[in-house]
Amino acid sequence: MARQTGSARSAKSERRKEDILRGAERVFAEKGFLEATISEVARRSGVSEATIYDYFGSKEEILFTIPLETTRRGKEKLEEYLTYIRSASDRLRAIIHNYLDFYEKHPDYAAVALLILKQNPRFLETEAYRIIREWSRTILRVVEEGKASGEFRSQADAYVTRTMVLGAVEHAVIGWLLLGRPSSPSALAETLSAQIIQGLDNPDRQGWRMEISLTADGRTKNYRLTPEEEGEPSDS
C-alpha cells in the first residue's frame, strides 16, 4: 500500500526515496529501462521490492521521477551562472559548457536522459519534461537578445540554434557513453561554442562602417569596411 506517495514526509522517508532513485538511475543506465528489473533496483537500493511500491506507483513513475530534482537544480544552476554574463555569445558559451560538463559529471543520469527518456513519448507529458522545456527556452532567449543587441545577425534563427546546441551536445555525449569517444565531451565545449557563435555572429555589429565603391571594367562593386577580427592595431 502506498501510504504516502504524496509529498511532505519524514526525513527518513525522503532519504529512502532518494536511495531508490539513485539505485534505479544506476540500474536503468546499465541495462536500459525494459531490461532493468524492479528486483535489481530493490537490491541496489537496499530496500525490498514491495517498499519501492510504497514510494512509487510504477516502474515508469520511478523513471520519470529521476530527472525531476536534477533538472530543477540544473535550471537553477544555469540561471545562477548567467546572472553575471551579459554578452549573448558568452551566455551561449556558458550554456554549452554547462550542459556538457553536467553530463560528463553524471554519466548515469546522462544515460537515462539521453538513451531512455528521450525516446519515450510519455515522458513528454511529465513535469520533468516541462522543466527541461523551460530550461531550453533560455537558449531561445539568449539568441533573441543577441539579435536585438546587434551581437547576432538578424537572420540568425533561435530555434535552429537551439537545435544545434542541444543536438550537438547530446550527440557528443551519446558517443561518449556508447563508444567512449570523445574521451571527454566537455573538451569539445570551446570549439563547439566558437563555431556555433561564429555562425550567429553579426559582421555588422560595429557602430561605424566605411563603404567603398570600386569600379572596374565598367562595373561597380560595393565594399564595406570592417575591423580586423581580433588583435591590436599593428604599428605603422
Applying CB under 7 A, the residues found at the interface with DNA are 1-4, 9-10, 12-13, 16, 35-39, 47-51, 53-54, 57-60
Asked if residues 81 and 94 have their Cβ atoms less than 8 Å apart, the reply is: yes
Quote the Cα angle for 199-205-209, to 5°: 130
> Bridge-partner residues for 201, per DSSP?
152
The CA distance from 71 to 99, in Å, is 11
- Which range of residues in 64-72, 84-92, 97-105, 155-163 is near a copy of itself by CB under 8 A? 155-163
User: Counting contacts by CB under 8 A, is residue 183 touching a copy of itself?
Assistant: no
Backbone angles phi, psi at 184, to 5 degrees: -140, 105
Asked if residues 185 and 100 have their Cβ atoms less than 8 Å apart, the reply is: yes
**CA 144 distance to own-chain centroid:** 18
The one among 65, 89, 161, 186 contacting a copy of itself by CB under 8 A: 161
Count of residues interacting with a copy of itself (CB under 8 A): 66
User: Counting contacts by CB under 8 A, is residue 4 touching a copy of itself?
Assistant: no
> Bridge-partner residues for 193, per DSSP?
none
144 binds, among DNA, a copy of itself, none (CB under 5 to 8 A by kind): none
Q: Reduce the DSSP state of residue 23 to 3 states and report it.
A: helix
User: Counting contacts by CB under 8 A, is residue 219 touching a copy of itself?
Assistant: yes
Per CB under 8 A, residues contacting a copy of itself are 1, 3, 32, 34-35, 39, 49, 114-116, 118-119, 121, 124, 155-157, 159-161, 163-164, 166-172, 174-175, 178-179, 182, 188, 191-192, 194-201, 203, 210, 212-215, 219-229, 233-236
